[in-house]
Structures are given as structure tokens and as C-alpha cells.
């Protein structure tokens, strides 16, 4: 068992901040790495130390194994936490850390390879007796794609072999769409993972996406921390997650947990990890893939189990044994996470980068926010559009939903469009409230008209008009320039908001 001296966090955004908080709570200093676009990013401000590693494109900074290892050497960091995305499931990076004598806070490079290559993971799962979705067990290319597609049948899912996070994922309804979808998926996969291999799976209709959180240590112990329900997705990316799943029976929960622990033990997995399953209407779980890293939606599990998964990752990497056994764990209450993206839900979730001109976040009981931004931050165009995660916990599912609605009502972000109004629609939708939904929920919702407050526009227009009147009068009577008239910072970024008389 070793004790780390300093941890470098090879990531950005909310997960980098999340990991640094865990470091600080464990009494460990943290080192941020940052690209040229991220000098003022929150993770740089929260870290104890910070090292610039390259230009804005992630390929030239956050994905540069050499730069990250140099930063660790330079700062004396003896462990690296990769967060999710970027280098988190890059076996070569894990191996490079191992070779450099730096602890990679994650599984062995071998586990990453086994599970990271999705077709290999499917083969191992089959060998371990875990059922998988029918499809190809190997990546396919060229003419074989059409042939295998015909064998499996439509609709089917086209997936990146090196994939994760919805990138390079395409639902193909029929043979006519196949060629275009393959081109798009390979392009996205190449750009996201540097690997354009794809494979095919039968699309499970009316499926729910349910995943199981696991932990394994260096001493052969493994537990599961129950499930997360992740069926609310747009563009095949999760927007809302919760735990427990309203769909699982206690028996199915125990069964899926046992399957997950069996696979973890079989591969000697050492870290937090997640096994993703599709569960069809017949309540039959099919293993999809295993994510060998912390998951975006890990907070819902933390809130219902009372344990800190990121601290546990670090402690496991130090060689500590798991501090609890399976029978010590229980789900208490219900937790829901809503992801806040800088996207415009009224325009097909188009990205909406820009400066966060004004921001008021909610507070109070049963609420957690894991944010990667702050008022005044310019959200870069180079990275993922997730700004923040809002998580609500309550004694019951209904209480958690009501709490989330209350929190969303308090939340205000101006300057970019966000998914706040969209997740509010989800929270008040009768099917969501009833727990009656599957992965097609978001598509169905988009087709329904939103019933917003019909008269609220009057308040909005009145507020704007009064503000204009007050601004005009103030400008007339302004005795002198106010607000340290245009520091470089003000001049560069806030011009449109400040000063210019209408």
C-alpha cells in the first residue's frame, strides 16, 4: 500500500474539478493541465498547481500523452487521474504511466484493452456467461458491413469499436441508410478516438439503458453499488439519469448486480467501473459494454449509497482494500441527475458556445451541483458542451423529481442557450413522472408541443422595457465613467453586455 504525494488530473471541465475536490478532501495536492483555451477554466482555478500543455485542440493538448507525462514529472505528481473521456480509456496511456512509475488511477492497461475494444468486451462477457445483444463479435469493414447487417436484421446500431459517450453511434432503420451512416460514424469515431473501426448490434426496441456501478480492489474484492437508469438520451447521449431505476424489480437488480460482479472478478478489475446493459420489454438484460473509468452520472450512485466513488478510486489505486462489503451497501432514497449542456433544445440541440454573462445556481436541501463553469466564463467551442450536472436527492422518486423541478426553477443562465428548459420538460412529463419511458423518450418529446406559461412573455417584455428605460436615464445622468472603465478583460469579452447605449 502506498500513499500518493500529489495527483495530476489529466482532464478539464466538471470532472477535473470533481477529482480535485476529492484530492483535497483526501489531503492530496492536485495539479491541473490546461490548453491555451482553458487558462481561465474552473479546473485551473480549483487546482493547487497548473501546467500549460498545448494549443486548444484536444489532439494537441489533452490527448497528448507525452505532454501530460512531462507535466507530471515537472510537478512531481506520482499519480494521474484521467477523469472520463480524453485519455481515460486509452490503454497506451495507462501503460505509459505504468512504465514511468506513475500510478494510473484506473484499471491495468490490460483491463482497459480487454474492455475498451468493444468487440473484445462482448466476447469476454459471453465467456463469463453474461448475455450480450446479438451482433458482430468483431469489428467489420467494407462489404462485410452490408452482409452482417442483413444477417442481424434492421433496425440496428452502428457503433465505434473504440467508442463511448455516444460518439460514432448511429441507429440505422433500414438498408438504404447504411452507407451514409457508416461514413458518418467512421468519421466521428476517427475524430473522437483516432480509430475508425465499427461494429453492428441489433437495436433493441423500447429498450431501457440501465447500468451497474462496480468497484474492485487490488485484493480480489468486488462489489456493485446498484444500478443507474440512463434511458433519457438525445443524440444517443444521456441527459437525465437516476438511481434506483423505476423499471427494475429487486430480483432483476440483484441478478444484474451479480452478473456485473462476476465479470469484474473474472478480469481482476481494479477501479470503479460501469457495466452498461440494455433491458428490453421482456426485462432481459443484455450487456452492451463496460466503461473502465468514472462515469459522468456517478453522483446519483453517491447520493443513494452515501459513498464517494472518486475518493474510493484513489484509495483503491493506493492499494487500500474496499472499506465495505456487499451487504454493507444499500440504496437510500432516490437521486436524479440532469445534465446542463450549452445547446439549444429549440434548434435540435445545436451547440451554443459563448460567454456565461449571468448565472444564478440553485441551492438548499438534497441538491448537488457539479459544475465546470462560472459566471463570466467563455465556454470554448473546442470541447464537449456540458456545463454542469445538477443532482437532486429525495426520500422517494416523487420527492426527487419535485426537488429537481424546484432547483431548475431557481437556475438561471444567460449568454448561451442551455438544456435547462428541456430537462424541466422531462421532469414534468407524465410519462417520466410515471416511470414509463425508454430510450425513444426524447424523440417522442420533441414531437409534442410544450405547454409553457401563456402569459409569462408579458413579464419578460416588461422587464426588458423597464431595464431599457432605467439604462437610458442612468446614461443621461451618468456623472462619470463607472466600472473601472473597460479593463482589458471587460473590453475583450463583455462589450455587448456593457456600456453601449442603445
Among 194, 458, 475, 478, binds other proteins (CB under 8 A): 458
Among 141, 464, 478, 485, binds other proteins (CB under 8 A): 464
Phi, psi dihedrals of residue 461, rounded to the nearest 5°: -70, -40
- Given the complex with other proteins, which of 480 and 500 has the nearer CB atom? 500
202 binds, among other proteins, its own copies, none (CB under 5 to 8 A by kind): none
Does residue 166 come out as left (phi exceeding 0), alpha (psi in the -120 to 50 range) or beta? Answer: left
Specify whether the CB–CB gap between 222 and 268 falls below 8 A: no
424 binds, among its own copies, other proteins, none (CB under 5 to 8 A by kind): other proteins
- Given the complex with other proteins, which of 99 and 183 has the nearer CB atom? 183
Among 3, 283, 347, 444, binds other proteins (CB under 8 A): 347
Alpha carbons 293 and 125: distance in angstroms, whole number: 18
* Segment (H or E) for 159: strand 156-160
Phi, psi dihedrals of residue 123, rounded to the nearest 5°: -60, -45
Among 141, 173, 395, 465, binds other proteins (CB under 8 A): 465
Among 183, 219, 473, 496, binds its own copies (CB under 8 A): 473
- Given the complex with its own copies, which of 42 and 130 has the nearer CB atom? 42
State yes or no: is 293 an active-site residue.
Answer: yes
Specify whether the CB–CB gap between 388 and 14 falls below 8 A: yes
Strands 156-160 and 198-202: antiparallel
Under the binding rule (CB under 8 A), the answer on residue 371 touching other proteins is: no
Among 151, 283, 332, 360, binds other proteins (CB under 8 A): 360
361 binds, among other proteins, its own copies, none (CB under 5 to 8 A by kind): its own copies
Q: Please list, in sequence order, all residues whose beta carbon lies within 8 angstroms of the beta carbon of residue 398, skipping any fewer than 6 positions away.
A: 433
280 binds, among other proteins, its own copies, none (CB under 5 to 8 A by kind): none
Q: Please list, in sequence order, all residues whose beta carbon lies within 8 angstroms of the beta carbon of residue 472, skipping any fewer than 6 positions away.
A: 501, 502
Cis amide linkage into residue 405, ω under 30° from 0: no
184 binds, among its own copies, other proteins, none (CB under 5 to 8 A by kind): other proteins
* Segment (H or E) for 275: strand 271-279
**DSSP output for 138-150:** S-B-THHHHHHHH
Residues facing 287 on adjacent strands:
132, 277
CB of 477 to its own copies, least distance (A): 7
Among 104, 199, 377, 422, binds other proteins (CB under 8 A): 377
- Given the complex with other proteins, which of 75 and 295 has the nearer CB atom? 75
Among 236, 485, 493, 496, binds its own copies (CB under 8 A): 485
Cis amide linkage into residue 150, ω under 30° from 0: no
Specify whether the CB–CB gap between 174 and 152 falls below 8 A: no
- Given the complex with other proteins, which of 325 and 488 has the nearer CB atom? 488
Strands 367-371 and 103-104: unpaired
Alpha carbons 479 and 472: distance in angstroms, whole number: 13
Under the binding rule (CB under 8 A), the answer on residue 486 touching its own copies is: yes
- Given the complex with other proteins, which of 2 and 39 has the nearer CB atom? 39
Among 67, 197, 270, 293, the active-site one is 293
String of contacts with other proteins for each residue 409-438, x by CB under 8 A: xx-xxxx-x---x--x--------------
By CB under 8 A, name the binding residues for its own copies: 17-18, 21-22, 24-27, 46, 299, 302, 306-308, 310-311, 332-333, 360-361, 363-371, 374, 393-395, 399, 402-403, 405-406, 409-410, 470-471, 473-475, 477-491, 498-500
Amino acid at each position: 500500500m502506498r500513499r500518493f504525494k500529489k495527483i495530476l488530473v489529466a482532464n478539464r471541465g466538471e470532472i477535473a474539478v470533481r477529482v480535485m475536490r476529492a484530492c483535497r478532501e483526501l489531503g492530496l495536492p492536485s495539479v491541473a493541465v490546461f490548453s491555451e483555451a482553458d487558462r481561465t477554466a474552473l479546473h485551473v482555478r480549483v487546482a493547487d498547481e497548473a501546467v500549460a500543455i498545448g494549443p486548444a485542440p484536444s489532439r494537441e493538448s489533452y490527448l497528448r500523452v507525452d505532454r501530460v507525462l512531462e507535466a507530471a514529472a515537472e510537478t512531481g505528481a506520482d499519480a494521474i487521474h484521467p477523469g472520463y473521456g480524453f485519455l481515460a480509456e486509452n490503454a497506451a496511456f495507462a501503460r505509459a504511466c505504468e512504465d514511468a512509475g506513475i500510478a494510473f488511477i484506473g484499471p491495468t492497461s490490460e483491463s482497459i484493452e480487454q474492455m475498451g475494444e468493444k468487440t473484445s468486451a462482448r466476447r469476454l462477457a459471453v465467456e463469463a456467461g453474461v448475455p450480450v445483444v446479438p451482433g458482430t463479435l468483431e469489428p467489420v469493414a467494407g462489404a462485410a458491413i452490408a452482409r452482417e447487417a442483413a444477417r442481424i436484421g434492421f433496425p440496428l446500431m452502428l457503433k465505434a469499436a473504440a467508442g463511448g459517450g455516444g460518439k460514432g453511434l448511429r441507429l440505422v432503420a433500414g438498408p438504404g441508410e447504411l452507407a451514409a451512416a457508416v461514413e458518418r460514424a467512421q468519421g466521428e469515431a476517427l475524430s473522437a478516438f483516432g480509430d475508425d473501426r465499427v461494429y453492428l448490434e441489433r437495436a433493441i426496441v423500447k429498450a431501457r439503458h440501465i447500468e451497474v456501478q462496480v468497484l474492485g480492489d487490488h485484493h480480489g474484492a468486488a462489489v456493485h453499488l446498484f444500478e443507474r437508469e440512463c434511458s433519457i438520451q438525445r443524440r444517443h447521449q444521456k441527459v437525465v439519469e437516476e438511481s434506483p431505476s423505476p423499471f427494475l424489480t429487486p430480483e432483476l437488480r440483484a441478478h444484474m448486480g451479480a452478473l456485473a460482479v462476476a465479470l469484474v472478478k473474472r478480469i481482476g478489475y481494479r477501479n470503479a467501473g460501469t457495466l452498461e446493459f440494455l433491458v428490453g420489454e421482456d426485462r432481459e438484460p443484455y450487456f452492451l459494454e463496460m466503461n473502465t473509468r468514472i462515469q459522468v452520472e456517478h453522483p446519483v450512485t453517491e447520493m443513494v449509497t452515501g459513498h464517494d466513488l472518486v475518493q474510493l478510486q484513489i484509495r483503491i489505486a493506493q492499494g487500500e482494500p474496499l472499506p465495505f462489503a456487499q451487504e454493507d451497501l444499500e440504496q437510500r432514497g432516490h437521486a436524479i441527475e440532469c445534465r446542463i449542456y450549452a445547446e439549444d433544445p429549440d434548434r435540435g440541440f445545436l451547440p451554443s458556445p459563448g460567454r456565461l454573462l449571468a448565472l444564478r445556481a440553485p441551492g438548499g436541501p438534497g441538491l448537488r451541483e457539479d459544475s465546470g463553469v462560472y459566471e463570466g466564463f467563455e465556454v470554448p467551442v473546442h470541447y464537449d458542451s456540458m456545463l454542469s450536472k445538477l443532482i437532486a436527492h429525495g426520500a422517494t422518486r416523487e420527492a426527487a423529481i419535485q426537488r429537481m423541478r424546484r432547483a431548475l426553477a431557481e437556475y438561471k443562465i444567460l449568454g448561451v442557450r442551455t438544456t435547462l428548459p428541456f430537462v424541466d420538460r422531462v421532469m414534468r412529463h407524465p410519462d417520466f413522472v410515471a416511470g414509463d419511458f425508454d430510450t425513444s423518450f426524447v424523440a417522442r418529446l420533441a414531437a409534442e408541443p410544450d405547454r409553457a406559461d401563456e402569459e409569462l412573455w408579458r413579464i419578460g417584455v416588461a422587464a426588458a422595457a423597464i431595464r431599457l428605460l432605467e439604462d437610458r436615464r442612468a446614461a443621461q445622468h451618468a456623472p462619470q465613467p463607472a466600472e473601472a472603465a473597460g479593463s482589458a478583460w471587460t473590453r475583450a469579452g463583455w462589450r455587448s453586455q456593457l456600456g453601449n447605449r442603445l
